Amino acid sequence: MSTTAQQPDRETRTWTRPPLIKDPRKRAALYIGIVAYLFWSLSSIEVDIPRLLEGLERASEFFAAALQPDFLTRRVDIWQGFLESSTMTAVATTVGVALSVPLGLGAASNLSARPVYLICRAILAITRAFHGIILAILFVAMFGFGPFAGVVTLVVSTIGFLGKLIAEEIEAIDWTCVEAVESTGASWWQKVVYGVAPQIMPRFIGLTLYRLDINFRESAIIGIVGAGGIGATLITAFYRYEFDSVAAILLLIIGAVYAFEYLSGAIRRRVL
């Protein structure tokens, strides 16, 4: 049928994928620049062998202590720290989810009017602009030491995380079912409840459980800068060189994270 098939040698055409940067000189300059930067940054780190050895020594001390974790000496502090972290996690996740749902709906471009969309996106962008630690330092400065600053930190991080992912999930749903719901004369909120919510529900539950888990681990970290919880207990033990208590706390955190993992797996299996 086709003429080229009968005369294959008439013209051999080659093809390569068009490069991202067309100008070969610019491309070479970019590659050389990247390599040079990597070398420069490696040399600027100042690898100091004696200090490295010293550190290893201290590490071995620490690991030795870790082999005999001491759960008992500081058991009251540890218990209180855990309780505080758990409370912080539960409160922050609940409040964070409650706030991120409306923001997520507002930040979905297919669902919300342009001005609402822009405002919600801006709020979400601000909440994600800083890492949890920075937020914690800020809120500790604002509200003083203790779990309240920690809860506010976790709420803000939760909003940034969940709000954005919910919005993106909504933007990817099958729109024809939403139109079908709309064409029955449904209001905007009914459209959300019948057309949007069922489609994002599995992902939403999964993300919420995942965030619960993140919030617990985060609560251990932000405690280090004074925002309460098990992190505060941990850093106190570090400062007192009570590595056996430190090891006990770390083991408990690992155990808790595993428990969450198991729990959320079980919940997810049920609802999906």
Regarding 190 and contact with other proteins (CB under 8 A), the answer is yes
Work out which of 50, 189, 239, 270 binds other proteins, going by CB under 8 A. Answer: 189
Helix axis angle, 114-129 relative to 147-171, nearest 10°?
140
Work out which of 181, 205, 250, 267 binds other proteins, going by CB under 8 A. Answer: 181
Shortest separation between residue 190's beta carbon and other proteins, angstroms: 5
Measuring CA to CA, how many Å separate 253 from each of 115, 121, 227, 246?
43, 34, 17, 11
Q: How is residue 145 annotated by DSSP? A: S
Is 48 or 179 the residue whose CB approaches other proteins more closely? 179
Residue written as token pair 């550190």: 55
Asked if 88 contacts 229 with a C-beta cutoff of 8 angstroms, the reply is yes
Asked if 86 contacts 220 with a C-beta cutoff of 8 angstroms, the reply is no
Regarding 199 and contact with other proteins (CB under 8 A), the answer is yes
Asked if 93 contacts 79 with a C-beta cutoff of 8 angstroms, the reply is no
Work out which of 28, 179, 251, 262 binds other proteins, going by CB under 8 A. Answer: 179
Q: Is 72 helix (H, G, I), strand (E, B) or coil?
A: coil
Work out which of 185, 239, 266, 270 binds other proteins, going by CB under 8 A. Answer: 185
Is 4 or 43 the residue whose CB approaches other proteins more closely? 4
Regarding 115 and contact with other proteins (CB under 8 A), the answer is no
Asked if 185 contacts 194 with a C-beta cutoff of 8 angstroms, the reply is no
Is 203 or 217 the residue whose CB approaches other proteins more closely? 203
Query: How far is residue 238's CA from residue 188's CA, in Å, rounded to a whole number?
Result: 54
Regarding 110 and contact with other proteins (CB under 8 A), the answer is no
Is 73 or 190 the residue whose CB approaches other proteins more closely? 190
Regarding 98 and contact with other proteins (CB under 8 A), the answer is no
- The pair of structure tokens assigned to 82 is 């855990």
Shortest separation between residue 83's beta carbon and other proteins, angstroms: 35
Binding site for other proteins (CB under 8 A): 1, 176-177, 179-187, 189-190, 193-195, 198-199, 201-202
